[in-house]
Amino acid sequence: MHRYYGESIPFGSAEKAFKDATTLGYLNSAQALADYAEILIHVKEEFEAQKSPIIVIGLSYGGMLASWFRLKYPHIAVGALASSAPILFFEDITPQNAFALVVSNDFKGVSENCYDTIKRSWSIIDEIASAQHGLRLLSTRFKTCKDLKDSSELKKYLEAIYTIAAQSSRSLVQKICQIIDQAPTDDSILDKIMAVVVAIAGDAPCYVIPPESAPDQSDKAWEWQKCTEIVMPGGRGDETMFQRAPFNQNDYNSLCMLLFAIRPRTHWITTYYGGRDIKLTLKRFASNIIFSNGLRDPYSSGGVLEDISETILAVTAEQVLTSWFRLKYPHIALGALAPSAPVLYFEDITPQNAFDLVVFNDFKKVMMQPCYVNPPESAPDQSDNAWEWQNNLLSMISIDTMGNQSHLSRLKKPSKTQPHLDIYTFRVHGA
């Protein structure tokens, strides 16, 4: 739930809301946080749960919102879980090529040959494109839906395939590298790359430049935010598998002027929410925020990866696996450091309500008295499928108090006699 996304459209219609800068000006993160504050206060009043604590949870941009909400509205949310939240991906706080470097290392970790093949493909594409009728040749070879006007169209398409694969799952990266590594020896580099396109995009009549369609409403909303406040200066250096392309602020400004006739506010996020000297800032003014990241996720490079205080914690997906590796392969690993790894959260080893009790004890100092509210019931969304699959396999016994939609629904009135504690959570989805 975020204004200008999905069904949350102001001014009565999308046509009016997206008309120009005068109406789009109400689309920004600060206004979205204010919306959440109003909604949460209303929900508490509606269900007579004024004393119930609220924890905000978000992923990606939603994770950024969750952490910012805790900073801006500490009287409403007692804590936040910010997953894959790149709050440090602004100005020059994080190196410009950090995102591309993680993607590259994901591929290099699977196969050096795969990494080298992709890295060499860019110059080959440019070499062919610069020759007479070269673009037509590339268009035919990659079965483009329209003739290429520039080699950058093909390269951007391929960059998207590799980046989405790294963001989605290691298995997809492995699939791409398997296709490249197992290709016939007489296949050229571009033959291997084309095989990847077909395997990932599926059997289609054409690729690369899809038929033109009306821009998606959510895409346009996100482009507006990227041009007004979420300015992440991502570039690519020689140490990545991508072609060198440093971030150019002037080009970025020109694009935003072309799209919306506005100039980006490159320093607004760090001014309004902070970013520089983030450890000192969070240590002084923040509490009860958990930043979680998977280190193969490219956005982790702009996230908080170290504990800042006793109540500002960083958790990585690798911490659980570290402890298991030591147990399974003691002849390889002499030891293991695995903080925050719930390796005893199986069968009846740990009491079923242990998680809730820890959360309650962490936050009881800010609660006047316990109030009890049933969590929302909803079907898991697509982003949860992978973890739900592993969760079912591992048979972890826990109580899901997250809710799996971006709004609170089907809530019941609190029961004063209910014998356990459930905590209101409000999940914030990104664009």
| DSSP states of 145-204 | SS--SSHHHHHHHHHHHHHHHHHH-HHHHHHHHHHHHTS-TT--HHHHHHHHHHHHH-S-
Residue 292 pLDDT > 70: yes
CATH of the domain at 304: 3.40.50.1820
157 and 71 together in one domain: no
pLDDT of res. 328: 55
Over residues 84-119, the pLDDT tens digits come to 999 999 999 999 999 999 999 999 999 999 999 999
pLDDT of res. 290: 92
101 and 149 together in one domain: yes
CATH of the domain at 114: 1.20.120.980
Percent share of the chain, pLDDT over 70:
73
Cα gap 304→289, rounded to integer Å:
11
Residue 400 pLDDT > 70: no
82 and 134 together in one domain: no
Over residues 115-159, the pLDDT tens digits come to 999 999 999 999 999 999 999 999 999 999 999 999 999 999 999
Give the mean model confidence (pLDDT) for residues 313-328: 65
Residue 336 pLDDT > 60: no
Over residues 183-209, the pLDDT tens digits come to 998 899 999 999 999 999 888 899 988
83 and 104 together in one domain: no
| DSSP, res 215 | P
Supply the mean pLDDT for the chain: 81
Q: The tokens 């300015």 sit on which residue?
A: 231
| Full domain range(s) for residue 137 | 97-201
What domain count does the chain have? Answer: 2
| DSSP, res 310 | S
85 and 157 together in one domain: no
195 and 102 together in one domain: yes
Contact predicate 28/229, CB 8 Å: yes
pLDDT of res. 280: 84
Band of the pLDDT at 333, cuts 50, 70, 90? very low
Residue 23 identity:
T
Question: Which of 201, 222, 243 is where one domain is finished?
Answer: 201
Residue 191 lies in a domain: yes
Percent share of the chain, pLDDT over 90:
63
Question: Which of 368, 383, 405 is where one domain is finished?
Answer: 368
Task: Tell which wins on pLDDT, 34 or 414.
Answer: 34
Residue 30 lies in a domain: no
296 and 361 together in one domain: yes
Residue 259 identity:
L
Residue 244 lies in a domain: no
Residue 348 lies in a domain: yes
Nearest to 173 by CA among 293, 317, 298, 85: 298
Residue 150 lies in a domain: yes
Residue 192 lies in a domain: yes
Give the mean model confidence (pLDDT) for residues 57-63: 94
Give the predicted TM-score (pTM) of the model. 0.75
Residue 324 pLDDT > 60: no
Question: Which of 162, 184, 201 is where one domain is finished?
Answer: 201
pLDDT of res. 327: 57
118 and 65 together in one domain: no
Q: The tokens 């504690």 sit on which residue?
A: 421
| DSSP, res 375 | P
Residue 403 lies in a domain: no
Give the mean model confidence (pLDDT) for residues 224-248: 95
Residue 335 lies in a domain: yes
Token pair, residue 268, equals: 């607004």
Give the mean model confidence (pLDDT) for residues 367-380: 44
